[in-house]
């Protein structure tokens, strides 16, 4: 089971062929969610071949996988012997994704077993491998599983942490399969990046903010912005996959929490500030991806503000919210702490998007500033993003072309890893 990059393929309109993805499915109750992962991969343009274990077919029939993928399904190494399918399947893959990976599958992969088509494929492939575990909490935390996961990660395999939530029966806890959307986001990232995802943030504590703050006018209305939180969640997901201990402070986002990430919910700017102050002292890096309201109403009405039929205008008195990013940068809670800010900008008569970004970098005092244009429907409430990353140390700006928000998240993590003290 290796994770070299020889077959990584960029998903773009100029690609000569769709990327070939092998979707392995092990025998756990979460196997039915592999169908959603398959559908999403196909929608993203991938050519998907499903390789289930015999146990997996007890949960989802072969006909379902064949109908959704458009390819026949095999489980053993004796099917299509003349084409040497147990070797060719792994050799031709650009990516192998295992959903779900049971404790048994992890153990067999870690020890190099090749007693069915899926484990043979894992042993043969030179493509990146993404593994999404799902099992009961006791199985995930057992020392044997812990050792197997560490071994696989040491070989360059991207093993996501499972989510916390409802398991089978009445049980709840860690061990739930990560959300299909998170699995597919990581799959798309691995198809675009050369090689496996590095574990270069192991031992690092990273604080990420996401979403948009809301400043209440009355019990019904608020001042807010269009931030969905997708970019901050993508950063948290990517940093956790690279080994970081991630805390995500989420302002009014309705997204599922990334696997392995601690999520703290807030609403107003001052709540966000208080949460950051509480966590920042122990963090190696703080990534301020949340869109924080610059102003809030001076007073909040205790009852709903009624329309005045005798007046066509409503006057609001606004006051400035604290500048959280500037305060963080000026009074770093930890030596060597890396602070990353975001600037959602539009050009105007006073300057371009980059002009405003450079001025904000100097004004805020952070180490990195991610500058992205939000005119013409860009940036907010969409799945793709582009940006320029400016650095206070004067290094060359990093251009990140339009692509999935996990692609920008990966570049931000690259810059973090490069700047954090050894």
Q: Is the pLDDT of residue 5 over 50?
A: no
Residue 119 contacts residue 109 (beta carbons within 8 Å): yes
228 and 177 belong to one structural domain? no
Instruction: From 380, 2, 408, 370, select the one nearest 188 (Cα to Cα).
Output: 408
Catalytic sites, residue numbers: 225
Q: How far apart are CA 391 and CA 405, in angstroms?
A: 20
Edge-first strand order for the sheet with 129-133 is 47-52, 20-25, 95-101, 129-133, 158-159
For residues 173 and 215, state if they share a domain.
no
255 and 304 in contact (C-beta within 8 Å)?
no
pLDDT at 1: 53
3-state secondary structure of 82: helix
Domain-ending residue, one of 145, 166, 192:
192
Percent of the chain residues topping a pLDDT of 90: 79
Number of domains within the chain: 2
The domain boundary, picked from 192, 225, 247, lies at 192
Residue 211 has a pLDDT of 96
pLDDT number for residue 221: 94
Q: Is the pLDDT of residue 9 over 60?
A: no
Same domain, 82 and 167: yes
Q: What kind and span of H or E run contains 317?
A: none
User: Which residue, 161, 192, 223, sits at the end of a domain?
Assistant: 192
Asked if pLDDT for residue 198 goes beyond 80, the answer is yes
185 shares a domain with 104: yes
Contact between 370 and 382 (Cβ < 8 Å):
no
Q: Taking Cα atoms as reference points, which of 174, 153, 238 lies closest to residue 204? A: 238
Show the domain range for 275.
205-303+313-419
Whether residue 4 has pLDDT greater than 60: no
Kind of pairing between the strands at 158-159 and 163-166: unpaired
Q: Does residue 295 fall inside a structural domain?
A: yes
The whole model's pTM is what? 0.91
Cβ-based neighbour number of residue 381 at 10 Å: 10
């Amino acid at each position: 089971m290796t994770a070299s990059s020889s077959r990584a393929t960029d998903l773009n309109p100029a690609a000569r062929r769709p990327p070939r993805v092998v979707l392995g499915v092990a025998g756990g109750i979460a196997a039915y969610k592999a169908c959603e992962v398959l559908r999403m991969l196909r929608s993203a343009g991938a050519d998907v071949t499903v390789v289930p274990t015999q146990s997996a077919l007890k949960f989802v029939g072969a006909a379902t996988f064949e109908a959704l993928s458009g390819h026949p399904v095999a489980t053993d190494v004796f099917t299509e012997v003349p084409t040497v399918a147990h070797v060719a399947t792994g050799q031709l893959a650009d990516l192998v994704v295992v959903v779900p990976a049971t404790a048994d599958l992890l153990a067999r992969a870690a020890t190099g077993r090749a007693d069915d088509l899926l484990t043979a494929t894992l042993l043969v492939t030179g493509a990146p491998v993404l593994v999404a575990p799902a099992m009961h909490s006791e199985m995930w935390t057992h020392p044997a599983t812990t050792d197997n996961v560490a071994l696989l990660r040491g070989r360059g395999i991207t093993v996501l942490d499972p989510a916390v939530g409802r398991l089978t029966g009445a049980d709840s806890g860690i061990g739930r399969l990560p959300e299909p959307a998170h699995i597919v986001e990581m799959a798309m990232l691995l198809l675009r990046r050369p090689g496996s995802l590095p574990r270069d943030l192991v031992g690092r504590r990273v604080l990420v903010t996401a979403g948009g703050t809301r400043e209440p006018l009355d019990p019904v209305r608020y001042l807010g912005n269009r931030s969905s939180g997708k970019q901050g969640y993508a950063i948290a997901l990517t940093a956790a996959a690279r080994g970081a201990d991630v805390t995500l402070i989420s302002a009014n986002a309705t997204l599922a929490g990334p696997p392995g990430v601690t999520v703290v919910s807030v609403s107003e700017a001052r709540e966000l500030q208080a949460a950051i102050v509480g966590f920042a002292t122990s963090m190696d890096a703080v990534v301020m991806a949340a869109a924080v309201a610059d102003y809030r109403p001076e007073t909040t009405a205790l009852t709903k503000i009624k329309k005045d039929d005798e007046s066509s205008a409503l006057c609001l008195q606004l006051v400035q919210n604290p500048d959280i990013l500037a305060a963080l940068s000026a009074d770093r809670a930890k030596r060597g702490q890396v602070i990353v800010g975001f600037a959602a900008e539009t050009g105007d008569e006073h300057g371009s998007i980059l002009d405003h970004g450079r001025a904000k970098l100097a004004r805020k005092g952070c180490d990195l500033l991610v500058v992205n244009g939000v005119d013409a429907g860009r940036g907010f409430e969409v799945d793709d993003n582009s940006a320029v990353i400016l650095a206070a140390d004067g290094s060359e700006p990093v251009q990140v072309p339009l692509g999935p928000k996990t692609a920008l998240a990966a570049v931000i993590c690259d810059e973090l890893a490069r700047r954090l003290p050894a």
